[in-house]
Amino acid sequence: MPQATKVFVNPQASLNLEGEFPSQEAFDFHKKLPGYQQSPLIDAPSIATTLRVAKVWVKDESSRFGLPAFKFLGASWAVYRALLKQIGGKIESWNTFDDLKERFASLKPLTLVAATDGNHGRAVARMAKLLGFDAHILVPEEMTQARIDAIKSEGAEVTVIHGSYDDAVAKSAKLASDKALVISDTAWEGYEEVPRWIMEGYTTILRELDAQLTEKNDTRVDVATAQMGVGGLATAVVWHYRRPELADKPKIVGVEPLVADCVLESAQAGHIVETPGPHNSIMAGLCCGIPSLVAWPIISKGIDMFVAIDDDWARESMRELAKAGVVSGETGSAGLAGLLALLKTDKADEYRQVLGLTPEAHVVVISTEGATDPEAYRAIVG
């Protein structure tokens, strides 16, 4: 049984956050895209039994617009907004990707550039292909070949960077030009608009979730989990569950790998700190050394508990999700993995009390990807 877990209960956590909360503009955009469908919401009684709670809902993001992860939601909205800004903020009405391709044709030749540790880069490359642009994706050297091949399958040029994801981000930033538009989900000084758009795109997951729970006549949510990485998805979760009009605000658990626990370390320090590499977790999408400047002010106040876990917890979580009928990759399973790890420590009873994980509790887990490395998935799950 895996044991390595680091936990930090956030003394700065607040149910009432200041600042601007996103509208549903990104959600409306996604619903208009050809191929849009809600991702499934899975009732997982076997996981509820494991966690000793009444209900576990799993939002299954293993197939978004034909891609095996949720990242297209952020990439598509950010690319659209960035291109709109490039041409002055307005385009004629549109209904298809061919329409959008025509509206943005005046920007050619144009390359969309992104650094990635997996799914974001592929999503940017897919958006570039749909709109008739080139794509140049930079990846860290520890990226598996399966994920590199998936990005190349979208027609993108892929450059392997000697170093970490954060090194790839730094190099991608230097490629920005009149004909190269950087679409990064990580923010840095002077580059904050695009990462915010990406995070706004992820709120579609939560808006769908609310509608699906309403359809099932079960809107109770006591605990929600969020994978952290640089903080993009976690920010979307915080935005959604800390919005002022929400009466009953659930506890939020943020999860990341032990070898890349930059958010937890930053929360403990009270300011952004960098976790040095190598960030060689199997939870590849979370192998980041520094939180996003845009995400940090939001997640540092909105997340109740930060959890850093070793890879064995992700493996166990993948198997638990498979039993519930959900195909979830290493990164995708991390949200549930954090809860499994929390509840199998010597402080499990204390953590249950902090989070309100009673036998009557209802839990929401987002499985953010499918089997993005099929060979690794088979080796872990069978």
Judgement on whether residues 264 and 179 belong to the same structural domain of the protein: no
pLDDT for residue 355 is more than 90 = yes
Residue-wise pLDDT tens digits, 103-152: 999 999 999 999 998 799 999 999 999 999 999 999 999 888 999 999 99
pLDDT for residue 282 is more than 80 = yes
Judgement on whether residues 43 and 164 belong to the same structural domain of the protein: no
Last residue of a domain, one of 190, 214, 236: 190
**What pLDDT is stored for residue 369 in this prediction?**
96
**What pLDDT is stored for residue 161 in this prediction?**
95
**Full-model pTM:** 0.95
Please provide the average confidence, as pLDDT, over all residues in the chain: 95
CATH classification of the domain holding 304: 3.40.50.1100
Number of structural domains the chain divides into: 2
Judgement on whether residues 174 and 248 belong to the same structural domain of the protein: no
**What pLDDT is stored for residue 1 in this prediction?**
43
Catalytic residue among 55, 59, 60, 71, which? Answer: 71
Please confirm, yes or no, whether 71 is among the known catalytic residues. yes
Judgement on whether residues 28 and 100 belong to the same structural domain of the protein: no
Catalytic residue among 117, 166, 185, 304, which? Answer: 117
Judgement on whether residues 39 and 82 belong to the same structural domain of the protein: no
**What pLDDT is stored for residue 44 in this prediction?**
98
Residue-wise pLDDT tens digits, 293-323: 999 999 999 999 999 999 999 999 999 999 9
Last residue of a domain, one of 153, 175, 190: 190
Query: CA-CA distance, 248 to 67, in Å (whole number)?
Result: 33
The share of the chain scoring above pLDDT 70, in percent, equals 99
Judgement on whether residues 83 and 170 belong to the same structural domain of the protein: yes
For residue 153, what are the contacts with CB-CB under 8 A and spacing of at least 6? none
**What pLDDT is stored for residue 19 in this prediction?**
85
Last residue of a domain, one of 190, 214, 233: 190
Residue written as token pair 């860290």: 140
52 dihedral zone (left: phi>0; alpha: psi -120 to 50; beta): left
**What pLDDT is stored for residue 118 in this prediction?**
77
For residue 232, what are the contacts with CB-CB under 8 A and spacing of at least 6? 74, 185, 195, 198, 199, 202, 292, 295
Judgement on whether residues 223 and 250 belong to the same structural domain of the protein: yes
Tell me the one-letter amino acid at 325. G
Residue-wise pLDDT tens digits, 202-256: 999 999 999 999 999 999 999 999 999 999 999 999 999 999 999 999 999 999 9
Q: What is the Cα 110 distance to its own chain's centre?
A: 26
DSSP 72-131: HHHHHHHHHHHHHHHTTS------SHHHHHHHTGGG-S-EEEEE-SSHHHHHHHHHHHHH
**What pLDDT is stored for residue 142 in this prediction?**
86
Judgement on whether residues 236 and 203 belong to the same structural domain of the protein: yes
Judgement on whether residues 273 and 370 belong to the same structural domain of the protein: yes
Range of the domain at 169: 72-190
Tokens (6 digits) for 290: 């520094």
Name the strand (E) or helix (H) holding 265.
Answer: helix 262-269
Contact present, 253 and 304 (Cβ < 8 Å): yes
Query: CA-CA distance, 129 to 133, in Å (whole number)?
Result: 6
**What pLDDT is stored for residue 206 in this prediction?**
98
Residue-wise pLDDT tens digits, 2-37: 457 999 999 999 998 988 899 999 999 999 999 999
Judgement on whether residues 168 and 64 belong to the same structural domain of the protein: no
Average pLDDT over residues 63-82: 96
**What pLDDT is stored for residue 226 in this prediction?**
97
Judgement on whether residues 110 and 208 belong to the same structural domain of the protein: no
Please confirm, yes or no, whether 90 is among the known catalytic residues. no
Contact present, 169 and 115 (Cβ < 8 Å): yes
Judgement on whether residues 224 and 334 belong to the same structural domain of the protein: yes
* Residue 197: strand, helix, or coil: helix
**What pLDDT is stored for residue 277 in this prediction?**
82
